[in-house]
């Protein structure tokens, strides 16, 4: 199919560069959005576990519940830090493809675990529409696929990292040479 030159978006044969630059804010939005959803699910579970009783005590007093909350909040904080780092890198130089892909993958997978923990804390009622956790679970599952699956993020992450390491900088030292017996002739590559 012929497209008239005046109808081209960008330069000919450079559509991938445009698409790739559009994915940076899309993936950051997905990463940040799921953290809000996961936090909402966790807040529902925390309030519920403070009121729901088993054996005469609020279930939050049982380690099986309280440790799930601790793990969830720790992972959410770590994911938020990575999302902030990726957003800062995107703002500063725009070359944040690896960090944004890491943030998108990590944040969506953390959110998935947190919502699953939240649903577990709620028990059977968490699976119903009495609480919004079941909907958040579906929405986060979509975000894991939207703008690139975890597998696609892995491809980008490893590709960009290989490029960073193998491009090398003149002032960067090769750690391999720190070995006391390193000998290029003894290293087998084939």
108-149: pLDDT as tens digits: 999 999 999 999 999 999 999 999 999 999 999 999 999 999
pLDDT in tens, 178-190: 888 877 777 777 7
Q: Which residue has the higher pLDDT, 120 or 177?
A: 120
Q: How many CA atoms lie within 13 A of 174 on its CB side?
A: 9
What is the distance between the alpha carbons of residues 133 and 43, in angstroms, rounded to a whole number? Answer: 10
Query: What three-state secondary structure class fits 119?
Result: helix
**Would you state the pLDDT for residue 143?**
95
Which residue out of 6, 12, 14, 26 is catalytically annotated?
Answer: 26
Is residue 2 a part of any domain in this protein?
Answer: no
129 is in which domain, residue-wise?
21-168
Instruction: Select from 108, 92, 116 the least CA-distant residue to 29.
Output: 108
Please count the other Cβ atoms lying within 10 Å of the Cβ belonging to residue 179. Answer: 8
**Is the pLDDT score of 3 beyond 90?**
no
Is residue 133 a part of any domain in this protein?
Answer: yes
pLDDT in tens, 14-65: 666 666 667 888 999 999 999 999 999 999 999 999 999 999 999 999 999 9
Residue 107's domain is classified under what CATH number?
Answer: 1.20.140.10
Residue 66: pLDDT band (50, 70, 90) is very high
Report, as an integer, the average pLDDT of 154-167: 92
54 forms beta bridges with 57
**Would you state the pLDDT for residue 91?**
92
First to last CA, the chain: 46
Q: Which residue has the higher pLDDT, 70 or 165?
A: 70
Is residue 5 a part of any domain in this protein?
Answer: no
What is the distance between the alpha carbons of residues 65 and 123, in angstroms, rounded to a whole number? Answer: 11
**Would you state the pLDDT for residue 116?**
96
- State phi, psi for 58 to the nearest 5 degrees: -60, 140
**Would you state the pLDDT for residue 171?**
66
Is residue 16 a part of any domain in this protein?
Answer: no
Is residue 53 a part of any domain in this protein?
Answer: yes
Residue 80: pLDDT band (50, 70, 90) is very high
What is the distance between the alpha carbons of residues 129 and 81, in angstroms, rounded to a whole number? Answer: 31
**Is the pLDDT score of 11 beyond 90?**
no
**Would you state the pLDDT for residue 15?**
65
Query: What three-state secondary structure class fits 135?
Result: helix
Is residue 131 a part of any domain in this protein?
Answer: yes
**Would you state the pLDDT for residue 152?**
95
Total structural domains within the chain: 1
Is residue 115 a part of any domain in this protein?
Answer: yes
- Respond yes or no: is residue 26 known to be catalytic: yes
Range of lowest pLDDT (61-70, 99-108, 140-149, 169-178): 169-178
Is residue 185 a part of any domain in this protein?
Answer: no
Q: Could you tell me if 28 and 100 are in contact, meaning their C-beta atoms sit under 8 angstroms apart?
A: yes
**Would you state the pLDDT for residue 23?**
81
């Amino acid at each position: 199919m012929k497209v008239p030159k005046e109808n081209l978006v960008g330069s000919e044969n450079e559509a991938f560069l445009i698409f790739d630059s559009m994915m940076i804010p899309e993936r950051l939005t997905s990463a940040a959005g799921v953290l809000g959803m996961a936090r909402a699910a966790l807040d529902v579970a925390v309030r519920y576990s403070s009121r729901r009783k088993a054996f005469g005590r609020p279930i939050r007093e049982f380690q099986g519940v309280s440790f799930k909350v601790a793990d969830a909040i720790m992972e959410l904080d770590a994911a938020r830090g990575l999302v902030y780092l990726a957003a800062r890198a995107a703002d500063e130089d725009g070359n944040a493809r690896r960090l944004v892909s890491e943030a998108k993958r990590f944040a969506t997978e953390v959110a998935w675990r947190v919502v699953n923990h939240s649903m577990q804390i709620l028990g059977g009622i968490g699976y119903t529409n009495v609480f919004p956790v079941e909907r958040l679970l579906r929405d986060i599952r979509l975000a894991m696929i939207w703008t690139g699956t975890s597998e696609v993020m892995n491809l980008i992450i490893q590709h960009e990292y290989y490029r960073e390491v193998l491009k090398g900088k003149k002032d960067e030292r090769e750690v391999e040479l720190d070995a006391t017996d390193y000998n290029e002739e003894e290293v087998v590559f084939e």
